[in-house]
């Protein structure tokens, strides 16, 4: 449901706004809908979010240690630079996904019965 499932119930926020794509022409304002993201995108996004900065940080630190054979302080600095580079790469990756519309939630279907979803409201 809207609000992130269990976490949404704990926070007890009011209304969440989510812009979602749809091909359904029969939706009316006030309809309850189920929205979702591509499962592969969620998994690959999670892996990229955690691994890319970590691998860049470790790669830069290992490079400074093994290839440059420098001091511990320089190795730590290289690790921090690698972490920053990994975060910048991640930012570019997510921006490309957003530009292509791959990170955009989609309306999957109208909600029925116990399967209550999000309410359709016009965008402003």
Rounded CA separation 54/87 (Å): 9
Tens-digit pLDDT profile for residues 50-88: 999 999 999 999 999 999 898 999 999 999 999 999 999
Q: Greater confidence, 31 or 90?
A: 90
Q: Read off φ and ψ for residue 34, nearest 5 degrees.
A: -105, 125
Q: What is the pLDDT of residue 65?
A: 93
d(CA 14, CA 36): 20
Nearest to 85 by CA among 119, 111, 49, 57: 57
Question: What is the maximum span of the chain, computed from C-alpha positions, in angstroms?
Answer: 66
Distance CA 107, CA 99 (A): 19
* Cα dihedral across residues 108, 113, 114, 118: positive or negative: positive
Is-contact 122 84, C-beta < 8 A? Answer: no
């Amino acid at each position: 449901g809207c609000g992130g499932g269990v976490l949404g119930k704990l926070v007890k926020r009011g209304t969440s706004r989510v812009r979602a794509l749809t091909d359904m022409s029969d939706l009316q304002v006030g309809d309850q809908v189920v929205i979702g993201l591509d499962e592969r995108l969620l998994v690959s996004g999670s892996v990229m979010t955690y691994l890319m900065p970590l691998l860049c940080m470790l790669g830069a630190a290992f490079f400074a240690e093994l290839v440059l054979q420098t001091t511990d302080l320089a190795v730590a600095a290289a690790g921090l630079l690698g972490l920053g580079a990994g975060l910048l790469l991640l930012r570019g990756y997510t921006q490309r996904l957003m530009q292509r519309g791959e990170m955009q939630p989609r309306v999957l279907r109208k909600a029925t019965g116990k399967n209550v979803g999000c309410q359709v409201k016009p965008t402003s």
